[in-house]
Amino acid sequence: MNAKVYFKSILLAVLCCFLSKQQVYAQTKVTVQGIVKTSDGAALPGASAKVKNSKQGTVTDPSGGFTLSVEPGQVLEINYLGYQPQSYTAAKSETIHITLLEIQNTMETVVVIGYGTQKKSSVTGSVAKLNNDNLNQIPVARADQALAGKLAGVQIQTTDATVGAAPVIKIRGAASITAGTNPLIVIDGYPVPTDLSAVDMNNVQSIEVLKDAASAAIYGSRGANGVILITTKSGKDGKTVFGFNNATGFKSVYRRLDFPSLSQWADHVKSVNNGKLSPEILAAQKFDVPTDPQDIVFQTGLFQNTQVNLSGGSPTVKYYVSGEALYDKGVILKNDYKRYGGQANIDITPNKKWKIGISLTPSYTAQNTPAYKLHDLLRSFATWLPLYATDTIAKYTGLPVGAIVNQRAFDPSTNPKYKGINLSATANNNGYTNLAGIENTTYTYKTLANANVQYNFSDALSLKVSGGAFISNSRTEFFQKSWATRDPNLQGSAVAQASTKGTLANTQTVDLLNENILNYTKSFGKHDLNVIAGFTVQSTKISNSNSAATNFATDDIPTLNAGTLSALSSTEEHNALASALFRANYAYDNKYLISIGSRWDGSSRFGANNKWGYFPSASLGWRISNEDFYTKGAFVNDLKIRASYGATGNNNIGNYKAYANVNTVGAILGDATTLGFNSSFYDNPNLGWERSFSFNGGVDMAFLKNRFTLTVDAYKSTTKDLLFILPINTITGSSGVWVNSGEVQNQGLEFELNAKIIDHSNLKWNVSANGATNKNKVNNIGNSNTIISVGDPKRPNYFIAKVGSPLVQFYGYEYDSDIQVGGNYWPTNVHSDRIIARDINGDGVVNDQDRVVLGQPSPKFTWGLTNNLKYKNIDLSFVLQGSHGASVFNADPNYYETQFSATGTSAYLSLPTALQAKTKYKTESRYAIEDASFIVLRNVNIGYTFSDRVMKTIKASNLRIYVSAANLWYKFAKGYSSYNPEGVNEYTDDPLKNGYQRGAAPVTRNITFGVNANF
């Protein structure tokens, strides 16, 4: 049915509920009046006060008070989420004061588990939690960047280090080949079709990651890559708190590379060429102004972030509102990111039957991205040429003094005014004009709006109906001026005007969600039961439009009206997901824990015969330390073992893939474009869910009265019926067909250790450490046992997917020896683009049969170590992070060694014929495979919290200033030769070509000063 009708009927159903009457309990024995407060004296409304082993109970009113009439001797239990429960045995009518202490012990922490919460001690799956204790003090532009190194088995890789770009998040390895490997992002219960840029870290209360299938199965078809749950802050009853956060800092490139200057190169040539220099080198010496291209392309980055928030409320209405402005300027010219965002969370509890929540998260971002990657920017400069023409350069080239210099001014065939020997080694303009002459900006407006109504039928049973919308509008404007890619001496010509280009791309996403969840929570005797059941529907509509123009009449008008329209198109797609879900958590005597879940998902993306998928899960836990036989006060004071098994799915394949789509194509008939329709696809009405079946076993332990806690998890996950574009013979006219075929397996081990090493009132030292291993293996990939994929055909390199091995491995030739460059040794730093490769099978020739596996791009072990130290008013925290065992295909040397010049590519021609036949491109060999391991001091944060005395004088409740440094120390692996080992920035949408880097933006060192204040 259509969504409108659907949502209307839900509304109707909710109204019906309002009409039902409230029930009242009353019984007279003794009257206990209680006032519940927190340790800092604030009233705690909404806490539950229950009579043990009975149905009787209530919740505290706005001032924290409650009144219960009970029989003498009955036990009252006072509970509030996140606080240690207290009990009180009633004896007579009196007023009691109860102070609930916040739970410090991590085992008692409450974790969000998807459609509900649970105590960490009762969790039977694998859920990692991160409280925003100081995440918002890590000054990053995006919430996801703050998570790096914090969670075991959650890999946050900054594949694109330009500002504003999203990192790649992988939870427990890649489980899919063609369907995406991104985890599902859920913001305050709303599974959003976007990334984490939709939230501001300052507004985040906590982040939970559902890692194993049993916990993620409640998100069924979208849970296979794990689920990240974001909970934003909400207001508390009490006086209004005004918060102010500001951070301001600078960024610089962490590591710079050495590009030999002309004089260094001349010295090198003399040493290998009997003291002789080539005519090119001699000619270039006339113009030599030693120039480091990095000085031109890089800039000092800036970071400014201001956030204000207001929170508070009354017993019935609580609110949290915030506004934020961010400016992040990258270290590459023309790279910056602006963000303006807000958050409004309002909770209304008119009485104990009703609870209403409304949240609104609007944001606006503007992201300027360099149109060229770093390798293209840097290689186009010559280290002997300044950016602007000197007198000498002007004299020989005819350029005006001070004009931007391109190497092409030194090529007599492109610059007739230059009469000397050709010194130009590139057909490109220099990187400065490539940056300065191009505008490439994406403006995105996102709003997440969510409202929910909860009705409590009784203390145990409630229904929550929520409806929400995520709307995103993104617009990318691109304009290339006539001098960006064409020489100055062509300016004004038709050729230069033809190189102008403008594009405009719009994408609008409208996503609607309705969820209806029943929750039943009941404790009777030693039994604790929580059951949820419900159904949800979600639909998405995506509209795209693209237009392009060229031949702009002027460089001064960037909008398409000033050019000749060259392309125009718009498309639209829809998808819908309907689900029913169920989960029961049961605990007996807080010792034996069991959780059973099921989700049925129907997706419009699949074939008519296979739209519905079923995702069951079960998990068990045993709290051994609660057994009678367990010695109280033992070294291990809390011990739980757990095991889970479940199925999750993946429908991340784009829309309409089950159909044999007929696409529009065009041909020129007469003089006009004539539209045709072509079908190059096979349909697959059986196309269905990709399912991961995974087993997780874990232990949660606390030692020495909760001073140390340790969680260890082992998992094995097998993804079957992979949604996969099965490569087929292109003889068929098609290169692939969407099928469910193939199998990938991931297994690994994870641990998280938290330790309170020192816990005095003046000195505190907490350490948390995490580590994870993952091993990925392909069990089946369809019709063949191996798939070899090729990267860029100009610089060929190979990836192999092979049954029994990791999904992606680098494949190619073993390096034997270098080839020397001779001749004119021009341009500077010229090397051969080939090496002599090893004849592995000894058959006398080096051919395809001599290729071997050269490495793989996934880390074998990742770890993080967080330290928090506090001495009186001074606090220090730092995060160390490491990744080991991954390799990267690095194309950069191929550009920086100027191998694309004639001398470099023909160097092998001077070899004897037999040796020539053994040459292979460096990119095809081990030469290009580098160790991507690293250890980094991700963040250091030193803060000072002002004393109460100072705060009182300025009427602040909290005031802290800090200085923070990101990537203060970064240890690159030996042999890694570029700027950023995590920067695998090519073929990011093709998992079979993972691990390729070319011109990745550099790791930056950021120093930031900040202040957090609450009034």
Binding mask 576-595 for another protein (x = CB under 8 A): xxx-----------------
Q: Shortest gap between Cβ of 427 and another protein (angstroms)?
A: 5
Residue 624 has phi, psi (to 5 degrees) of -60, -35
Nearest CA-CA partner of 428 in 377, 497, 365, 499: 377
The position carrying tokens 């989960």 is 583
Q: Which of residues 878-907 bind another protein (CB under 8 A)?
A: 900-902, 904-906
Cα distances from 471 to residues 188, 367, 579, 654, in angstroms, run 16, 18, 21, 18
Q: Which of residues 594-633 bind another protein (CB under 8 A)?
A: 602-605, 611
Q: Shortest gap between Cβ of 446 and another protein (angstroms)?
A: 23
Q: Which of residues 682-701 bind another protein (CB under 8 A)?
A: 682-683
**Which DSSP symbol is given to 954?**
H
Binding mask 967-996 for another protein (x = CB under 8 A): ------------------------------
Q: Shortest gap between Cβ of 318 and another protein (angstroms)?
A: 28
End-to-end CA gap in the chain: 51
**Which residue, 254 or 815, has its beta carbon nearer to another protein?**
815
Structure tokens at 530: 């929580």
Q: Which of residues 487-546 bind another protein (CB under 8 A)?
A: 494-495, 497-499, 501, 516, 518, 535, 537, 539
**Number of residues near another protein (by CB under 8 A):** 115
Q: Which of residues 305-364 bind another protein (CB under 8 A)?
A: none
Among 53, 95, 569, 820, binds another protein (CB under 8 A): 569
Q: Which of residues 152-211 bind another protein (CB under 8 A)?
A: none
Contact 599, 219 (CB under 8 A): yes
Cα distances from 237 to residues 61, 320, 728, in angstroms, run 11, 11, 63
**Which residue, 397 or 456, has its beta carbon nearer to another protein?**
456
Q: Shortest gap between Cβ of 864 and another protein (angstroms)?
A: 40
Query: For residues 227 and 218, what is the distance between their CA atoms, to the nearest angstrom?
Result: 10
Q: Which stretch in 584-592, 681-689, 801-809, 859-867 sits in contact with another protein by CB under 8 A?
A: 681-689
Q: Which of residues 797-836 bind another protein (CB under 8 A)?
A: 798, 833
Q: Shortest gap between Cβ of 358 and another protein (angstroms)?
A: 22
* 669 lies in the binding site for another protein (CB under 8 A): yes
Binding mask 73-112 for another protein (x = CB under 8 A): ----------------------------------------
Q: Shortest gap between Cβ of 1008 and another protein (angstroms)?
A: 41
Residue 1001 has phi, psi (to 5 degrees) of -65, 150
Contact 156, 169 (CB under 8 A): yes
**Which residue, 12 or 26, has its beta carbon nearer to another protein?**
12
Binding mask 450-479 for another protein (x = CB under 8 A): -------x---x-x----------------
**Which residue, 899 or 941, has its beta carbon nearer to another protein?**
899
Laid out side by side, the sheet with 127-131 consists of: 127-131, 204-210, 227-232, 184-187, 190-192
Query: For residues 415 and 434, what is the distance between their CA atoms, to the nearest angstrom?
Result: 20
**Which DSSP symbol is given to 494?**
H
Among 417, 526, 527, 574, binds another protein (CB under 8 A): 574
Query: For residues 360 and 346, what is the distance between their CA atoms, to the nearest angstrom?
Result: 9
Reduced to 3 states (helix: H, G, I; strand: E, B; else coil), residue 296 is helix
**Which residue, 628 or 671, has its beta carbon nearer to another protein?**
671
Q: Which stretch in 201-209, 322-330, 657-665, 748-756 sits in contact with another protein by CB under 8 A?
A: 657-665
Query: For residues 48 and 76, what is the distance between their CA atoms, to the nearest angstrom?
Result: 10
Query: For residues 329 and 298, what is the distance between their CA atoms, to the nearest angstrom?
Result: 11
* 119 lies in the binding site for another protein (CB under 8 A): no
Contacts of 741 (CB under 8 A, 6+ apart): 721, 722, 724, 726, 780, 781, 782
Q: Which of residues 386-415 bind another protein (CB under 8 A)?
A: 413-414
Q: For the residues of 576-599, what is the DSSP string, one character each?
A: EEEEEEEEEEEEETTTEEEEEEEE
Query: For residues 666 and 672, what is the distance between their CA atoms, to the nearest angstrom?
Result: 10
Q: Shortest gap between Cβ of 18 and another protein (angstroms)?
A: 12
Q: H-type helices in 678-763, by residue range?
A: none
* 273 lies in the binding site for another protein (CB under 8 A): no
Binding mask 733-762 for another protein (x = CB under 8 A): xxx-x-------------------------
Q: Give the count of alpha carbons within 13 A of 771, CB side only.
A: 9
Residue 269 has phi, psi (to 5 degrees) of -65, -40
